[in-house]
Structures are given as structure tokens and as C-alpha cells.
Structure 1
Amino acid sequence: MTLSEVVSLYVSHNRALGQRFRTEEAILRSFCKAVGNGPIATIEAGAVLAFLNGNGPVTEYWVKKYRVLSGLYRYALARGLATVSPLPRDIPKPTVPEFVPYIYSHEELKRLTDAVPAACAGRVPIEEEVFRTLLLLLYGAGLRIGEALTLTPGEVDLRQACLRVRETKFFKSRLVPLGKDLTKLLTEYVVRRHGRHTASTEAPLFCFHDGSPLSQTAARSAFRRLRSHAGVLRDGEARRQPRLHDLRHTAAVHRIIAWYRSGADLQELLPKLATYLGHSDLSSTQRYLTMTPELLRQASLRFEHYAIGEKS
């Protein structure tokens, strides 16, 4: 059986188990293109290693590709489609540090929103108001970019001040409550949007000038321009720079800091934050909580108050 045939079976198998498997499928299709579409049993170890190594340094993506291919070959071996796995036994340590999410300060968030007109000027196909509203929604509601871009007006309940987010990362839908300011912003946005585009409840909430759905590629490209105009950068190469997705990380960290300052019970509230963000478990939320200086300071103050209370 050819490699592409086995890949198709493996992808279908995983989706039947309830997984999206989009990133994994993209890696497997790249693997097919790189090594050729011969019988899976004839693929040699050298070709597999060349695909894993690529042209750059060893990163976490090397490990990701390795795990995807490992799953493919376990599937093939269990079904007699291959007799041996050509994957290397030793996994090298990444030579490039794992990406650390960037937590924007409130001042940087203001600079980003102030720079939206410059980022959307010229022949950019995204309207200024569309991009600004998208940014504020990503931060204010802690949404993933994919979740925000699949929203329709019919999923924005302004009377109940909530969003219905469907087709999330884990195939679950959830209701996301909105704060007063964000509800007001979306109300004004929806009214103006309906004046320029179709008022259909099934149309995209965020769209290009021509009314077609705004893509993740365009949103990320616009954010790179925005980041440059706002001067929100950090040391390192392009791949280390702040991302659009980091608005979601920032929302989580800022919420924790606010809870620390108010003396709230984090053990009670963290599971609620995980539900709000659409995480399947608390460990996923914990990865979002990058230890910023302010978060560390608030945690230290909380521990200091606890220690003083124990002594008195």
C-alpha cells in the first residue's frame, strides 16, 4: 500500500475518534511530498531523517513531526502495512528554545489599538474598525483567532451579553459572557457592519471589504504590520516576536493578576477560567499563565500575607 493511502486511512481513523487532526494531516502530507508516494514499506530511514531535520535548527517542531510519524508507523505496524519503523530511536534536544508567549502590558495594548489606522492604511483589505474590534474581542473575551473568525452575527447575543463559540479546538461549543464595555463595542460594531454588508445571521462577523470571511493569514499579516507600527517588539529573530495569539495569553494573565489584587480565591476561580477559555482541563490553562514580573510580585505578596497570618 502506498504511503498516501496509509496516511488517508490513518487520518480518517483519528477523525473517527473525534480528533480534528488538521496540523497532523498537514505534516503527513508534507512527509508524502518529501519522500515520495511509493510503498510505505520501502521508505528508508535516511529519507525520514532528512524530513525531520529539514533545513534549519532542531526546534520543538522537530519533536512534533517525530510524534506524528511515530503515530503513523504504529498504526501501520499494527495492521501489517509495514514491518519495521524507519524512525530514528534517539530524539535530539531542540537547539532553539521553546517559544515563550509574550504578555502585553496595558500600555502596549493601547499602543497597538492606537496604531490600527496606520496598519490598515493604503491597499490593506481589512477595514480599520473590523481589525480594531477583532483585537479587542481576542483580548476582552480571550478567544482563539479561529474561534473569533468563525463567529456570525447570529452567534452574538447582545441582549444576553454573550457569544456562542462553536467548533472549538476540542469540538465543543461554549457560551462566553461579555463585559459591559465589550458588549457596547460589539453592539456598535454590528450596527455599522450591517450598514455596509449583509445583515444575514449566517454571514461572517469579521470580513474583508468585499464581505468575504476574514482569514487567519490576513489577520496575522495585519498584526505583524500593527506590531511594527506600534513598536511592540522583543529581542530575537522574527519567529520570537509577539503574536496575535498572545492576546489570549495576556487576557488570562491579566485576569489572574486582577484576582490576586482583589484577594480572590484562585483555587476556586482557576477551574472557571479554564471553562471560560474552552480548555479541556486545568493543565491547559496553567500553560497560559506565563510568570511575568507583575504576576510574580502579586503571587509573592499573596504568600507574604499568608505567611504573616500563619505567624500571628
Structure 2
Amino acid sequence: MSTVINITELKNDAEKFVMFKRAMGFRYQRGAYEIDRFLRFLEEQWRNVDDIPLADAISDWCGRLPSRKAISVGCEFGIIRQFCLHRRRRDPTCYVPEQAFAPVKESAFLPYIFSHEEVLRILATASTLKGHFIWASMMRRLILLLYCTGIRLGEAARLKMEDVDLDRGKLLIRDSKRRTRFVPIREDLIAELQLYLYDRQMLLLDIGRVDHGTFFIRQKGGALSTHGASVAIREILRSIGIKPANGRTGARPYELRHTFAVHRLTAWAKDGSDIHAKLPFLSAYLGHQNILGTEVYLKATPQLLELASIRFEQHLRDSR
């Protein structure tokens, strides 16, 4: 017999499920959002129906937009399936859809990897940027920090003055993805950040603003937000033709993180290093929860694959 539910009961269970997830330490914003969309969909599709077959409801939800990508359907389905598994704790007879219903686990998406020439063009544009909120000295150093360390844009925007230790050459990334880590930085990046700190001090003195301690600040002295930084980087990418003038397609600010990882792996490959032996170090540096999140970069560039092929052919020749 299939599970039959009503909206009121399901809403109560959903509230308890989200509370459970957050009690486990997860922010669970995306999951809560998808569950809320699922409930609103049921209210619209099964209006004035007291008893809703849960299996049919989930099937209708997943198939509501036939043109959606399989990875998108799989991600949404996974959240609803977790919800059903949680309900089964209270009711062992509760319906839980099989994983094979939406089995796609891996995205076929490959990030855009900036070439070294494109990185130089981005930096050159950032170094002459003039805007109402964004100023060139800050923007140049923000992009350098993103490219040279691979930290996330949000991590960079949240940096405080005490998190940036230029004497010891390290950054403190606080509570990102439920982790805190130190990120060592090179001397040439340290020199750039020291120049920025001088410009930052002069800016605050000129405009008469109190220093609130945020490392990256806007031209008016306020804290740089992740959204503001993202918009500014997108405008740079559009201005030099890397990103289309309109729409959300093309390279994103997040590609600076991808580019750091791929360029680092490529440099190791050219040096003859064992890339797989290096992956755990790169994974820790990037703040990935496990090495699986880092392995995706191994297939992100044809150049890296070509280097691997050349090294394999050389290995075969040597073995003969």
C-alpha cells in the first residue's frame, strides 16, 4: 500500500527535518528552499485534496519541467529523498523513492579556465578601474588574491584585518564550509597586499572614515560585499570580451579559483611531479572536504590531459 499524506502533516514533518539538519551543524538554506518549493508545488497541484499519494507527488515534482538537466533534477530529488528517509524514522512504512529514480550524481560541467594571457588582461583592467564603489588598488589585489590562492570569493570578502598576517605570510580563513584553515601566501603576493594596505590607509584618511576592520573596502570606506565583488569582476570580464555582454553564460568570478587549481596542477605536471601525490595538499589548501572535490580539476583542461598523455608515452618507451 502506497503512502498517503496531507499537506499539513507534511509541512510539520518538513519543519522538523530542517530543524534536525541545522541542529547537526548545517546551514541547510538550499535544502530548506527546495523543500519549501516542493510543498508549494503540492499545494498548487493537489488543491482541495486531503489525501495525496506521496509517490505520485514526488514523481510529478521531478517531472514538472521535462527540459531540465538531469543533474538539476538529481540534486532536487536527493533533498526530497533525504526528507522521506527522515520521515521513515517515525513511520517505518513511509514511502522512500529509489535512488535509481534520478541516478545522476556527477555534473558534466567543466569550468572556464583563464589562460595566463587572460589573467594578465583581467589584472590590467582591474588596475585602471574607476567606479563609484570599486577602486583600482583594491580590485587589483582582490583578483591577485583569488588567482594566487584559489580562495573562494566569499572567503576573500569576509577577511578581517587580523586574518591577514603579512609578517608570517598567511591568511586565516574562518568558518568556511564548517572549517577554519590557514592559507600560506608567497612573497610577491605579500608585497602587493602591503601596497594595498598603504592605499587603504590613505583612502580612509582622505575620506575621514573610521576603520571597521574589514580587509577589502569600497571606495567610500564600507566593507566590500561578496555580491558587489562578483558584479565588479563580471563587468571586467565583459569589458575585455571574455564574458558575453548579457546573460549569465560564460566565465564567472568563481573561475579564478578553478584557474588557480588547474594552473597549479599543470605546473606540477611540467615539473615532472606525481600529480596524484600532490592532490591531497591542493585539496587541503583549497579547503575541500575530501580529495574528490579536487580531482575534478584533472579533466578541466586539454593541456593537462596532453601532458599526462606525453608522460605516459615516455613511461612506455622507458619500460621497453
Normalised by the length of structure 2, the TM-score is 0.81
Deviation of residue 183 (structure 1)?
A: 0.9
Tell whether the 8 Å contact from 1:11 to 1:25 is kept in structure 2 after alignment.
yes
1:61-100 Cα deviation digits (max 9, x unpaired): 2211111111112212322399446899733879xx8321
Counterpart for residue 168 of structure 1: 176
- Aligned mates of 2:91, 2:269 — CA distance in 1: 56
Alignment partner of 1:167: what SS?
strand
Aligned in 2, Cα 1:176/1:71: closer, same or farther, shift over 3 Å?
Answer: same
1:195 paired with 2:206, answer no
Counterpart for residue 285 of structure 1: 294
| Amino acid in structure 2 at the alignment position of 1:65 | E
Aligned in 2, Cα 1:100/1:270: closer, same or farther, shift over 3 Å?
Answer: same
1:129 paired with 2:137, answer yes
Aligned in 2, Cα 1:25/1:164: closer, same or farther, shift over 3 Å?
Answer: same
Deviation of residue 107 (structure 1)?
A: 0.6
Aligned in 2, Cα 1:208/1:122: closer, same or farther, shift over 3 Å?
Answer: closer
Moved more, 298-307 or 73-82: 73-82
Aligned in 2, Cα 1:3/1:219: closer, same or farther, shift over 3 Å?
Answer: farther
Which is bigger in relative contact order (C-alpha 8 A, separation at least 6)?
1
Counterpart for residue 115 of structure 2: 105
- Aligned mates of 1:54, 1:186 — CA distance in 2: 50
- Aligned mates of 1:50, 1:166 — CA distance in 2: 41
CA RMSD of aligned residues (A): 3.3
Deviation of residue 255 (structure 1)?
A: 0.7
Counterpart for residue 294 of structure 1: 303
Alignment partner of 1:166: what SS?
strand
Counterpart for residue 177 of structure 1: 184
Pair member with larger Rg: 2
Which of the numbers 302, 310, 314 marks the counterpart of 1:305?
A: 314
Unaligned runs of 5+ in 2: 1-7
- Aligned mates of 1:107, 1:159 — CA distance in 2: 31
Which of the numbers 72, 75, 82 marks the counterpart of 1:71?
A: 82
Aligned in 2, Cα 1:16/1:104: closer, same or farther, shift over 3 Å?
Answer: same
| Amino acid in structure 2 at the alignment position of 1:283 | L
Aligned in 2, Cα 1:258/1:85: closer, same or farther, shift over 3 Å?
Answer: closer
Alignment partner of 1:62: what SS?
helix
Counterpart for residue 270 of structure 1: 279
Counterpart for residue 265 of structure 2: 256
Counterpart for residue 28 of structure 1: 35
Deviation of residue 261 (structure 1)?
A: 1.4
1:245-280 Cα deviation digits (max 9, x unpaired): 111111111111111111223343221111111112
- Aligned mates of 2:220, 2:17 — CA distance in 1: 39
Q: How many residues align?
A: 303
- Aligned mates of 2:51, 2:86 — CA distance in 1: 13
Unaligned runs of 5+ in 1: none
Alignment partner of 1:163: what SS?
strand
Alignment partner of 1:23: what SS?
helix
Deviation of residue 55 (structure 1)?
A: 5.5
1:89-140 Cα deviation digits (max 9, x unpaired): 733879xx8321111100111122222367x5454x3223322222211110
Tell whether the 8 Å contact from 2:81 to 2:97 is kept in structure 1 after alignment.
no
Deviation of residue 56 (structure 1)?
A: 7.5
Aligned in 2, Cα 1:56/1:90: closer, same or farther, shift over 3 Å?
Answer: closer
Aligned in 2, Cα 1:275/1:232: closer, same or farther, shift over 3 Å?
Answer: same
1:9 paired with 2:16, answer yes
Moved more, 131-140 or 286-295: 286-295
| Amino acid in structure 1 at the alignment position of 2:189 | L
Tell whether the 8 Å contact from 2:22 to 2:28 is kept in structure 1 after alignment.
yes
Aligned in 2, Cα 1:264/1:115: closer, same or farther, shift over 3 Å?
Answer: same
Counterpart for residue 148 of structure 1: 156
